[in-house]
Amino acid sequence: MKEEYIMKKLCLGFLALTIATAVLAGGNTAQYVTYAKIVDIEKVYRTSKVKRYSDCREVTNDSVTSTLCDNIEWKTINQAIDHYRVTYELYGKTFSIKEKTRPIGTERRMRVTATPYR
């Protein structure tokens, strides 16, 4: 009984994969589904720039006190992850896609659209 259930699941999975990878011909384009290998995942941070003052001193002119600083430096601060730059490899070529969520696993299902180059 258990073997029949496993065999039925395998057949249904194979059937779904076969249907998904079938070429949909419409005009001069074709679409199919395949798997691309994940090569690299890079975190891209949302950043902000902040002024940092150093070597400051108080200066008084005509009863008005002001602060003068000799060094002003702009610092870039990483606040949070904005998105992920994911690099994939498919058919010997690599390409990158910007994704909001981090992909899980070592490969990702892709829909490929092929159009003749003119």
* pLDDT at residue number 84: 96
pLDDT of residue 41: 95
* Token pair belonging to 105: 């696993």
Residue-wise pLDDT tens digits, 15-57: 555 555 544 444 688 999 999 999 999 999 888 888 888 888 8
Return the pLDDT at 98. 95
Percent of the chain at pLDDT exceeding 90:
36
Domain chopping of the chain, boundaries: 2-114
The model's confidence at residue 110, banded by pLDDT at 50, 70 and 90, is very high
* pTM exceeds 0.75 for this model: no
DSSP states of the chain as a string? -HHHHHHHHHHHHHHHHHHHTS-EEETTEEEEEEEEEEEEEEEEEEEEEEEEEEEEEEEEETTEEEEEEEEEEEEEEEEEEEEEEEEEEETTEEEEEEESS---SSEEEEEEEE----
Q: Is 115's pLDDT higher than 50?
A: yes
User: What is the pLDDT at residue 2?
Assistant: 65
